[in-house]
Amino acid sequence: MAQSEPDAVSNAGRHATGDAARPVPVRVRKAGAVAARAGEPADGLFSAFAATHAADALLSRRWNCMAGVFAGSAAFAAIFAGIPPVRSIFLIAAASLLVLAGIYFVRLGNRVADAPWQRAMFAVPAVAVPMAVFGLGMGYWNFRAGEFLEGPLAAFILASVIATLIQSGKRYTLFTVQIAGWSGLLAWFHSPSAVATLLVLVPIAVLVDRMQAAAQRASLLRREAELRLSRRAEDILHDFEESGQGWFWETDSKGMLAYLSPATARLFNMSRGDMIGCHLSKLFETGSDSHDGERTLAFHLSARSAFHELAVRAPLRGEERWWSVTGKPIYDSYGNYVGFRGSAHDLTEKRRTQEEATRLARYDSLTGLANRFQISKTLERLLDAPREAQRTCAVFLLDLDRFKQVNDTLGHPAGDALLTQVSQRLLRVVAERGRVGRLGGDEFQVILGGAQVRDDLANLAHRIIESLSQPYSIEGHRVIIGASVGIALAPEDGTTSDALVRNADLALYAAKDAGRGCYRFYATDLHSRAEEKRQLEQDLRDAIHAGALELHYQPVIETATEEISGFEALMRWNHPTRGMLSPARFVEVAEDTGLIAAMGEWAIRTACHDLARWPESVRVAVNVSPIQFANPQLPGIVTSAIAQAGIDPQRLELEITESVFLADDSNTDAMFASLKRIGVRLALDDFGTGYSSLSYLKKAPFDKIKIDQGFVRGATMPGSRNGAIIASITSLTQSLGMDTTAEGVETLDELELVRLLGCSHVQGYVYDKPFDADEATRRLESGLKAVASGPRASRGPRQTMLRKVVLDHEGEIYTGTIRNISANGAMIEGLWNVPPETTFKIAVSDDLILAGKARWSQENRMGIEFQIPVDIGADGRISLKRGVSQEEGKPRLWRQAG
Ligand code: C2E
Ligand code: MG
Ligand code: MG
């Protein structure tokens, strides 16, 4: 019957009796534990107590026994006092039935009432009524006898003691049992003392009940606290494992799992039951094809030695997971080995973060290429190869030309996009041949392992430059940049990574010096050139402060009238030790260092100031660097220079090169517009040397196009296409209403040609070289008329030959072959990538040494211009020009060449 009681009664009952063998309901234990941790009153325990109190305090599960107890005690009394009167029999039988009815009544109460006092309203009558009826039955028996019979009295006391025992610990009903029973017994005697005793008994009973309740509550709390204490460690471990931060494991002596939490089993998609008894290898990869950590783990397990924080892979299919495992062998009290016990936590995230950090430390986050660290490691590895013969490689250093302009004008996101495209093109060109890395900014490095052939490297460098110089599309803009490459080889140019990179860097500088967009191999004289450049930069700063810059003026002649229409202002630097320097030597340094801004402003102001002294019909053209052009203050500077000099803005012409169109954006258009608003003229300089897109002509309001001297030079040579190109440019400019100046006209033949081809203006040595402002003033005073003078043809006849010669550059000896020669120079083969302007002493024969300067070079060929012209006989004999003796020429030759 007790088993069939409702859950509320049975659960709470188990708890309140404190049956240690049975599990305490988790909900109750948890609530108590949480409250106790937070240092608050243990509400959970009170509610547990209340629940206990409500159900179990009402009626014992053994109360049904009372039906038998009543009947049995009456039978027991009958042995001593004979058959009881009928009324007593009837009342005792009714009491037994009422016991059973009372049980159903209490159950009804549990169902309809919640509060303990409400349930007590059902429980109290359920025990009081049968007890009172039983008391009445036994009392009547005594009453009929006229005295208290020993038998019935003892039987009553026995029954009421059993009822008390059954209800022991139950509030409300414990004393109800006694009071109701005795009330029934004494009811027949109408004894005042009995009534008084009962009346006293009621408040005592209530008082004792309260005390008992308090004691019960205290004991319950104590038990809860003890229970919590005893389970604390277990709870903490349980919470820890549930949180997923780590877990524990234990094996038996055979390595079979003896402990694993359900949460851990879930990690393996299994139930705990399935995993217990399985071998430890279910948790960790311990097979033979495993990693270091797993092999170490297998060793420790077989050696029965402790291990700490071993990184092992989890044997999970389809996902890569790593554990960090710690464990130690365990022994029983007799020292027998009983298994392993340990813990583990998930390492996967940590390892991923570490891998990501390693990746970031090795690779450039923007382009995904190897970064400086990684690429230098690659180079070091190659140079540290075990065998000397393997320590061969080539290093390319690349620098993007004009990248800074794109970054400055289109913004950094565009710059980033450009770098990404550059890296993709680089990877495509280099492909399997080498490793590509980004050193930072617009600097890249390529490493090619193994022995290298210079021709192949030159070819690769050429392809790289060609690929990187193709137009890019960035955020809807068409962007064109270039690239310069410096090449150094191991072991020839260095055997350490530092030396090799430094030398490749010098070669890169040489490539940039040579006009960018080209490659250079390292050569020993580059060190002095780099030092020279650094010195030049320092000197230039001093020169600006000391006012050592000058403007020279070269007349520009109108073809139709042969009169001076204006001058081009060309900057000169009167260097204290090197003499007069051409801008070709220092403008780039000035642009690289930002000095160009101040120099350019000075040039505009000085040119305007000089122009104010000259006739109204004369103009002056000033060269404007793309860096000046990008400066929004340029229109302000121009306006102020014009106003200060008090000249007509139409007399000032600004010469701009095509590179200003690189960052083809609205700023460029706005600059053109504001310069035009001032009223100055605009000329497009060096047309044909850059990207020469006709769309510039459509967009920009140029008044003049200057055809670069590269087209004029050689235009008169048979088979040259330059003439056709000049003709098409002039017809284009004529139809657009622009002027055309042919630059660098040196010979009468060239002058004739450009005139014939329709150039409206000519500028070149055939009329005048640039001279200073005073000379220009004097020149103008003698009238505007200009007279052409100079050689008719550009170069003397060439003679082909194959003659071995020895060349000496600053003590370094090379051998070469003259392929062809004229009075003024020769083409020599055999020296690679010689920087222009390199001076040589050339031993043509035992008694003839010529001084010369490289004018150009391409791969292993260069053009040498002799300091003193030579005579070439019909038999190929080379001799000094008549009238110049070797003795006479020698000191001059050495001085110039040295
Ligand atoms: P550019 O504007 O094309 O100037 C023409 C160059 O050709 C000048 O060289 C001039 O001396 C030279 N030249 C003129 N006629 C002949 C000739 O018949 N034969 C030869 N071989 N050369 C001739 P320069 O003065 O050395 O200037 C070189 C470049 O430096 C200029 O080329 C210009 O781009 C730049 N530059 C000169 N002055 C300035 C300046 O004040 N500011 C800026 N930003 N650049 C300047
Ligand atoms: Mg110019
Ligand atoms: Mg020019």
Q: Is the CB of 655 under 6 A from ligand 1?
A: yes
* DSSP run (H or E) holding 43: helix 43-56
**How far is ligand 2, taken at its centre, from the CA of residue 853, in Å?**
25
Ligand 3 centroid – CA 67 distance (Å) = 129
Does 747 contact ligand 1 (Cβ within 6 A)? no
Residue 793: is its pLDDT beyond 70? Answer: yes
pLDDT for 821 beyond 80: yes
Ligand nearest to C-alpha 603: 1
Neighbouring CB atoms inside 10 A of 728's CB total: 11
- CB-based contacts of 8, cutoff 8 Å, min separation 6: 51, 55, 110
| Alpha carbon nearest to ligand 1 atom 7, residue | 744
Closest atom of ligand 1 relative to the 770 alpha carbon: 11
* Residue the block writes with tokens 């000249």: 647
- All residues at 6 or more sequence positions from 586 whose CB lies less than 8 Å from its CB, including other chains: 536, 540, 573
Nearest ligand 1 atom to the CA of 746 is: 18
pLDDT of residue 796: 58
Q: Which atom of ligand 1 is nearest to the CA of 745?
A: 18
**pLDDT of 426 higher than 70:** yes
CB-CB contact of 425 with 441 (8 Å): no
Band the pLDDT of 663: cuts 50, 70, 90. low
Q: What is the pLDDT of residues 513-559, one digit of tens each?
A: 777 789 999 998 888 877 877 888 899 999 999 999 999 999 999 99
130-177 pLDDT tens trace: 999 999 999 999 888 888 888 888 999 999 999 989 988 787 788 888
Residues 6+ apart with CB under 8 A from 476: none
Is the pLDDT reported for residue 488 higher than 90? Answer: yes
Task: Indicate the pLDDT class of residue 212, thresholds 50, 70 and 90.
Answer: confident
How sure is the predictor about 887, in pLDDT bands with cuts at 50, 70 and 90? very low
417 lines ligand 1 (CB under 6 A): no
Which of 554, 623, 634 best tests ligand 1's pocket when mutated (most atoms within 8 Å of CB)?
623
For residue 256, give the DSSP letter: B
Phi then psi for residue 728, to 5 deg, are -70, -35
Query: Among 743, 747, 766, 772, which is best to mutate for testing ligand 1, by the most ligand atoms less than 8 A from CB?
Result: 743
pTM: 0.48
Q: Give the sign of the dihedral formed by CA 828, CA 834, CA 838, CA 841.
A: negative
Closest CA to 650 of 624, 604, 682: 682
The confidence score (pLDDT) of residue 665 equals: 66
pLDDT band at 643 (very low <50, low <70, confident <90, very high): very high
Contacts of 691 (CB under 8 A, 6+ apart): 480, 658, 661
How much distance in Å is there from the Cα of 786 to the middle of ligand 3?
Answer: 21
- How many angstroms does the Cα of residue 584 sit away from the middle of ligand 1? 7
> How many angstroms is it from 176 CA to the middle of ligand 3?
124
Mutation test residue for ligand 1: of 554, 557, 570, 745, the one with most atoms within 8 Å of CB: 570
State in Å: Cα 582 to ligand 1 middle: 8
Is the beta carbon of 591 within 6 A of some atom in ligand 1? no
pLDDT per position as a tens digit, 562-620: 999 999 999 999 988 888 888 988 998 898 888 999 999 999 999 999 999 999 999 99
DSSP β-bridge partners for residue 431: none
Gap from CA of 572 to ligand 1 centroid (Å) = 10
Residue 398: beta bridge partners? 444, 485
pLDDT of residue 692: 62
Residue 816 Cα distances to 454, 802, 813, angstroms = 17, 10, 10
Evaluate whether 725 touches 711 at the Cβ level (below 8 Å).
yes
pLDDT at position 16 over 70 = no
C-alpha 620 – ligand 3 centre gap (Å): 14
598 lines ligand 1 (CB under 6 A): no
Instruction: Determine whether the shortest distance from the Cβ of 742 to ligand 1 is under 6 A.
Output: no
Which residue has the least CA distance to atom 27 on ligand 1?
583
Q: Which atom of ligand 1 is nearest to the CA of 765?
A: 18
Q: How far is the CA of 280 from the centre of ligand 1 (A)?
A: 84
- What mean pLDDT comes out for the span 298-312? 86
